[in-house]
Amino acid sequence: MSRSKAKGTAAETAVVRFLRAVGFTQAERRTLSGVQDRGDIAGLPGIVIEVKNCARVELAAWLAEAERERDNDGASLGVVFHKRRGKADPRDWFVTMSGLQFAALLRDHMEMPPLNADEGEAA
């Protein structure tokens, strides 16, 4: 296994352990699916999590990947869970999503109806 692949596997495993520790006991690593990839973490219905452990932060590309995988999965939320430099514990890492995804999350939390396709457009 390449060093890069080993880093990614370790990060995914750490995120799964963290999620299980905070009550998401069904969280598990997902096997790669090539072009139809559906994220790195399974077991959270409607949510795609792409895990990154990279020295160079590339949020735009990572978010595009998470959103593509969200669409492949038919999920409603796609996020990037990325390692924070100098922090080994995933509870200290970052979770990044688009503004539209954040608005959808807030609406769900506030028990508001989902956004219509045109509601998320900038004025």
**H helices then E strands: how many in the chain?**
3, 5
Check if the beta carbon of residue 50 is closer than 8 Å to that of residue 32: no
- Confirm whether 67 is domain-assigned: yes
What tens digit of pLDDT does each residue of 10-20 get? 999 999 999 99
What tens digit of pLDDT does each residue of 58-105 get? 999 999 999 999 999 999 999 999 999 999 999 999 999 999 999 999
How many C-beta neighbours within 10 Å does residue 17 have?
13
- Confirm whether 121 is domain-assigned: no
Check if the beta carbon of residue 44 is closer than 8 Å to that of residue 24: yes
- Confirm whether 9 is domain-assigned: yes
- Confirm whether 44 is domain-assigned: yes
Structural domain span for residue 17: 3-109
Provide the CB-side half-sphere exposure for 53 (13 A, CA): 19
Say which CATH number the domain at 21 has: 3.40.1350
- Confirm whether 85 is domain-assigned: yes
Q: How many folded domains does the chain comprise? A: 1
| pLDDT confidence bin for 120, thresholds 50/70/90 | low
Residue with the two structure tokens 């669409």: 71
What tens digit of pLDDT does each residue of 26-63 get? 999 987 666 688 999 999 999 999 999 999 999 999 99
